[in-house]
Amino acid sequence: MQGLIIGGGIGGLTTAIALQQRGIDVQVYEQAPDIREVGTGLMMATNAMQVLSWLGLAESIRQTGWSLQKGFVTKPDGTPIQTVDIGALSRRYGFGMVAIHRGRLQTLLLNSLPADRIHTGKRLIDLQDNGRRVRVLFADGSTAEGDFCIGADGIRSAVRQQLFGDQPLRYSGQTCWRGLVDYPVPADARTTSYEYWGLPTGLRVGIVPVGADQLYVYVTAASPAGQSAEKSLPALLSLSESFAPSVKAVLEQVEEKRIHRADLYDLPTLPAWSKGRVTVLGDAAHATTPNLGQGACQAIEDAWAVAACLANYQEPDEAFRQFQALRKPKADRIVRLSRQIGQAVNAPGWLKPLLFTAMGSLPKSLTDRQFADVYDVSYLKRFEKTSVSQFPPVPAGSHSPAA
């Protein structure tokens, strides 16, 4: 069996690795002219690290990234509202969380694949599935064929558009600035992340160590969609006035050229992810706001799941139906929960003190269940250990209900 993957980001490359390890040949097509170390930081959370360990990549990622032990959600002055004991998650699941530069993660994944399997400068403009083979056409006039095609081409997926037409995105009401900041992190804070919630609607500042002297910083604020400014620093410094002096001290070290601004969108739940021999995964299937730090992590779960399904089912269309049945309920829950958190951040200032009190009063049993819903990936291994005969075919055209 030979396949095509459209998109050379984290989801596409991880999927290629997972398929390669199962003896399924794939070619990856990326529209960018080259795959470079760009981007800011991201979190490889407990669930992603478990899956990456199954692929033999977890230790390399721990060495490349920066392991965290604790996380705090705080009031504007730094008073803790909620605490995440990452060490406890590590003891429970075998892995904690690793903060890593997105570009370095992408390079690590890229280096795990044969160079002749990666093709850049390939922007998809057409896709045809004749029931036996899938043929794709790129903007440069070249074509490719395979037994199946996987769209891992992001929130504005060309593959999704070919399958299902235009799917409107949903604006969160927030814009976000992200960047890396060179900053001497105190020794006692080098494994601790902070997310400061401000009183103004939509306002947060996240500060995450990605090294002994470097921080990943993100700032969200309420904003109409499509607003932009030539310079980000004046806005960030103005927003920093709402927080503790330590937050302002970090934001004052931000360099304009290292800040990226983007409005935050998600993708409303799709009825289905696949059609025939073509499926989508990651942001192309279930783009989420970043409030749970799960965008890349969910794509990594997808990668393992779709590879397991293709290895266990001879026909790609059946494999993709099983993939959707396995993964869609959890992915849809993540999108909803992340959006709910974003809506809480969007609460008016007068309501925030009450919200902080409620967040700090959540019983541990409830937060443990919420963590398990996000970080437990044992359902993937149960599938792996179950014979094909125990999974009845899913009727064509059906889809798993939203959980």
Angle between helices 364-375 and 46-54 (to 10 degrees): 30
- The domain locations on the chain are 2-169+267-388
CB burial of residue 216 (10 Å; 0-12, 13-18, 19+): buried
DSSP state, residue 9: S
Per-residue pLDDT tens listing for the chain (403 residues): 999 999 999 999 999 999 999 999 999 999 999 887 667 889 999 999 999 999 999 999 999 999 999 999 999 999 999 999 999 999 999 999 999 999 999 999 999 999 999 999 999 999 999 999 999 999 999 999 999 999 999 999 999 999 999 999 999 999 999 999 999 988 888 999 999 999 999 999 999 999 989 999 999 999 999 987 767 888 899 999 999 999 999 999 999 989 999 999 999 999 999 999 999 999 999 999 999 999 999 999 999 999 999 999 999 999 999 999 999 999 999 999 999 999 999 999 999 999 999 999 999 888 889 999 999 999 998 666 433 333 333 343 333 333 2
Residue by residue, DSSP assigns 44-97 as: E-HHHHHHHHHTT-HHHHHHHSEEE-EEEEE-TTS-EEEEEEHHHHHHHHS--E
CB 35 within 8 A of CB 120: yes
pTM beyond cutoff 0.85: yes
DSSP 23: T
DSSP type of residue 389: G
H/E run at residue 381:
helix 378-385
CA distance 239 to 143: 49
**Secondary structure (DSSP) of 212-270:** TTEEEEEEEEE--TT---S-SHHHHHHHHTTS-HHHHHHHTT--GGGEEEEEEEE-PPP
CATH topology of domain 2-169+267-388: FAD/NAD(P)-binding domain (3.50.50)
Q: Which of 100, 101, 108, 110 is nearest to 32 (CA)?
A: 110
Cross-strand pairs, 307: none
Element of type H or E holding 326: helix 316-345
